[in-house]
A and B are shown apart, each in its own frame.
Chain A
């Protein structure tokens, strides 16, 4: 994974290469366009925050990037490491290093958390031409990564997300991320439902995973998480469009002025469109 990146960065050492480029992306469900022309460029090593009120399309954007078939793309394109992301099956996107932490992690009864993750990791490794990890190697890795996000080890043997508290589910998502070591992590409202200690632990984990080799998109409608994870860029998503982009100061501005302030901007964008 990172080995690959190292090779590439040797070729283009100076400039920040683009990892993800979203152009004029339109997507939605039948009869309802939710994303109405998204443009977004994420460079390698960068952290972007996407903020916006409830229902503005943040989760839809995250899921479309991850390949959810229930939100068909009607226009636009997405390049990921120079490849056509939208042409890839969801599992291939994952194997290529795209990870999404779900806003609502899904329960899989009867399947142990470790078993699930081992199957996932080995599927990813196999795709990348790496040896599958055996049970011992995997166990060692898992224990190490569980510490990383301060995950209760009892959760490892329990069925995936079943009966987990809201906070445990979110922690489990970041734990999976730590094991899978993605290049592009899209974190959808990972901060919601966390108490302050959990928030700190999760943010800590995310910060530790941050490197010059990968990129992170943090989706949130509170700026609270951004106190712990400082983004390079902040974008405001309203009604399926990015209406304003800026640096970390924008998040603070949003906090004090509220979304209504940018909503007016959005209306202006709408009128000019």
Chain B
């Protein structure tokens, strides 16, 4: 993922298209400060000490850990998803790994030059003057945030945008009263694990009536070997506030699988709006299915206030396995939840992704648009829950789930769950499955387009309703990524 502007006229990534390789797969040599691998209460204490957190955080972590270990003994990971993988040994994972040169950053100049170069190669220069003027970035490298740009500028408006570590230190009350309020530490196996061991992530607070003047974004990079990334993001939009948030991620190419178990919580108060966009481009593993990131993520937003709105837009192209269901709890009357998703799987990738829309308030509305694309021998499942509570009178949901198959060895599956507890609400569900036709590709080629460009164009057309929800630069990037992910999928 890159947020760097590119000249539109240049030949767009023909080279990358032709080689089709994961271009973010390099590794950076940096000295690490890590805790020994394995997971137990001592390790959690060690991690907590290293981070210099207040006592309540230790309690929080231990409570989560104890819950998690009960689950671990019982059945470990949830088994209901349509994904297959071998057992995960949680004692073989390192839960904290930070680049060594980590003084308390007074300025962005103090970042380890290797880390800075890494982000530059990824198209995320960590110097404010080089960044797109409209985007503030929090850069997370393995377990820690290494830089947050435009902090002061945002602070002038009362906006807090910083790493979770800094937020716990500098805004403990805000964090303490909201952390776990949308995704409790008992929510699910991976959320419990995250609550026990999360090391960093981003925090944003937009005060009453403030529209955040720039896109906020976090860029996650896994670099260290045998390390899990467990980040935690918390975004709060106070009454009438609005914010658009972007998230991107990459990892080196490795033969072993690495675990990424993040939790994101969003809270929108009265009339506040939060738009959360993700371009997920973790290393997907090689063509034979070796290696790749396990992306087991819990993301949920709470429309706490009247007339509030939360929009999730995701473009999931990477990861060996994706397990995520960004959802909305529509608690405030007249609140709105939206979910726009493109999930692409190629070769041996697996995705089980969708959303949960929980209607609690009156006249709440939700929209779900899911576009699943499968190629190679990959399996793609949409799993969505729409629940309309008894008191949520006049609630509305519209869901549209489309699947596109490339070739005939891949699969698409749809699992919609609908529960409506009152009679004044209405749910509409549409679903379709189609194949990229040989006739469509031939038509494009007859007009002079290459096979790659033809597939790219057809797939991008299929995803249009989702892409138009993305901020401009992200949409361009998403289109390119899609092309790269599907490279070689049509003969």
Contacts and interface: CB of A to CB of B under 8 A. Distances in A.
Contact of B448 (A69, A102, A180): A180
Interface string B446-485: 1111110100011011111100000000000000000000
A132 B464 contact: no
Contact of B458 (A90, A95, A105, A108): A108
Contacts of B451: 91
Contacts of A119: 449, 453, 457
B458 A111 contact: yes
A107 B434 CA distance: 13
B169 interface: no
B449 to A, nearest CB: 5
A127 B458 CA distance: 22
A102 B437 CA distance: 15
Contact of A176 (B447, B461, B463, B465): B447
Size category, A interface: 35 or more
Residue from the set A66, A89, A116, A127 with the largest chain B CB neighbour count within 10 Å: A116
Nearest to A63: B442
Contacts of A69: 442
B89 interface: no
B9 interface: yes
The 7 closest A-B CB pairs, nearest first, are A110-B461, A111-B461, A120-B447, A110-B464, A106-B443, A94-B448, A90-B445
B273 to A, nearest CB: 26
Contacts of A100: 446
A120 B449 contact: yes
A107 B446 CA distance: 14
Given A70-B438, A95-B448, A110-B464, 16 more contacts: A90-B446, A91-B445, A91-B449, A91-B450, A102-B443, A102-B446, A106-B440, A110-B462, A111-B458, A116-B444, A120-B447, A120-B449, A121-B448, A123-B447, A124-B448, A134-B9
A102 to B, nearest CB: 7
Interface of A: 66-70, 89-91, 93-95, 99-100, 102, 105-111, 116-117, 119-121, 123-124, 126-127, 132, 134, 159, 176, 180
Nearest to A120: B447
A110 B437 CA distance: 15
A92 to B, nearest CB: 9
Interface of B: 9, 11, 437-440, 442-451, 453, 457-458, 460-465
Given A123-B450, A127-B448, A108 B443 contact: yes
Contacts of B462: 109-110
Nearest to B458: A108
Contact of A67 (B11, B446, B460): B446
Contacts of A108: 440, 443-444, 457-458, 461
Contacts of A107: 440
Nearest to A116: B457
B447 A110 contact: no
Nearest to B440: A106
B218 to A, nearest CB: 30
Contacts of B444: 108, 116, 120
B388 to A, nearest CB: 30
B442 A68 contact: yes
B72 to A, nearest CB: 44
A123 B449 contact: yes
Contact of B447 (A116, A132, A159): A116
A116 B445 CA distance: 11
B7 to A, nearest CB: 12
A106 B453 contact: no
B448 A123 contact: yes
A144 B437 CA distance: 32
A123 B454 CA distance: 11
Nearest to B462: A110
A132 B448 CA distance: 14
Nearest to A94: B448
B457 A111 contact: yes
B490 to A, nearest CB: 12
Nearest to A121: B448
17 contacts: A90-B442, A90-B445, A94-B448, A100-B446, A106-B437, A107-B440, A108-B458, A110-B465, A111-B461, A116-B444, A123-B447, A123-B448, A123-B450, A123-B453, A126-B11, A159-B461, A180-B448
A62 B445 CA distance: 15
A109 B461 contact: yes
Contacts of B439: 106
Contacts of B438: 70
Residue from the set B449, B450, B451, B460 with the largest chain A CB neighbour count within 10 Å: B449
B445 A94 contact: yes
